[in-house]
Amino acid sequence: MQVEAISRALEANNFDAHVVKSRAAANEAMLSLIPRDTTVGVGDSATIRQIGILERLVKRGTKLLNPFSRELTTDPSKRDVRHELSRAVFTTNVLITGTNAVTLDGKLVNIDAVGNRVAAMIFGPKEVIIVVGRNKIVRDVDAALHRIKNVIAPYHARTKDFATPCARTGRCSDCDSLDRLCNVTTILEKRPWRTAMTIILVDEDLGLSWDETWPPKRISKIKSNYEGVTWVFARA
C-alpha cells in the first residue's frame, strides 16, 4: 500500500504516523488519541468534516473550538466571534485539521489565504492531529504546489464563490485578486520542535485533491463528497 510507504517517510521526518483503512478507523484512532476532558481546536478542513469526528467528539463531551462551523461562517454578524475563536484555537491542547498534500518523502505542503490553519499547525496547540486521505499523496513539493494551485485552489474558489481568475479558467495565473487564496505557503519538512504531531493516513479518498489523469468517476466522487461538506462563506 502506498500509504504504508508514506507512513515510513513521515516517521523518518519525526512525525508520528498511523495508517488506517477507513474514515471509521480514523475516527477511532482520533478518539483514542484525544483525551475526553480536553479542548480541541479545529482548522478548516473538508476531510475533518467528512469523517464525522466533530460530531463524535461533541457527543462524548469533549469541548470543541470550531471557527468553521456552518453557523459561524455563513452569518456575517458572527464575524467577530469567528475571528476571536480562530485566535483562541492557538491556546487549545489539541488541533485537528487536514493538509493539502503529503509528498512521497513525507513532507506536508499547505497553502492558506488567512494563514490561521497553517500557523496553528506549527506552534500553539500542544498536539496536532492531521488526517490525510490517499488522494493527497503527491510525488514531491513541486508536484504539491502545482496541484494545489491548478486543481485544489481553482475548484475551492469556484465552489466558495471567490472572484479569482482560477475560478473561471481552472488554472493559476499568480493573481493579484483581493480574493486570492494563495497568500501563505508552508512546507513541513520535519516535525517542528515544540509540537507533537500525528498524521493519520487513511486509505480512502478524502477532502479536495486529485490528479487530472485519474478516471473521471473517481474525480467526480471526490468532488461530490467535498461539495457535501462545504458551503459559501459570508465575506468577512
Measured from the CB atom, the residue of 19 and 153 that comes closer to ligand SF4 is: 153
Please state, in angstroms and rounded to a whole number, the distance separating the CA atoms of residues 182 and 206: 21
Q: What is the residue whose three cell numbers read 491548478?
A: 150
Residues whose CB is less than 8 angstroms from the CB of residue 218 and which lie 6 or more positions away in sequence, other chains included: 205, 210
Rounded to 5 degrees, what are φ and ψ at 62? -80, 135
Stretch that binds ligand SF4, among 9-17, 115-123, 161-169, 193-201 (CB under 6 A): 161-169
- Residue 149, interface with ligand SF4 (CB under 6 A)? yes
Cα 48 to the chain's mean position, in Å? 7
Measured from the CB atom, the residue of 144 and 172 that comes closer to ligand SF4 is: 172
CB of 234 to ligand SF4, least distance (A): 19
Q: What is the residue whose three cell numbers read 461539495?
A: 227
Report the sign of the C-alpha dihedral through residues 162, 148, 231, 69, in that order: negative
Amino acid identity for residue 178 in this structure: L
CB of 165 to ligand SF4, least distance (A): 5
Query: Which residue in the set 13, 47, 164, 230 belongs to the binding site for ligand SF4 (CB under 6 A)?
Result: 164
Interface with ligand SF4 in residues 166-205 (CB under 6 A): 166, 172-175, 177, 180-182
CB of 168 to ligand SF4, least distance (A): 9
- Residue 131, interface with ligand SF4 (CB under 6 A)? no
Please state, in angstroms and rounded to a whole number, the distance separating the CA atoms of residues 31 and 218: 29
Would you tell me which residues interact with ligand SF4 (CB under 6 A)? 149, 153, 157, 164-166, 172-175, 177, 180-182
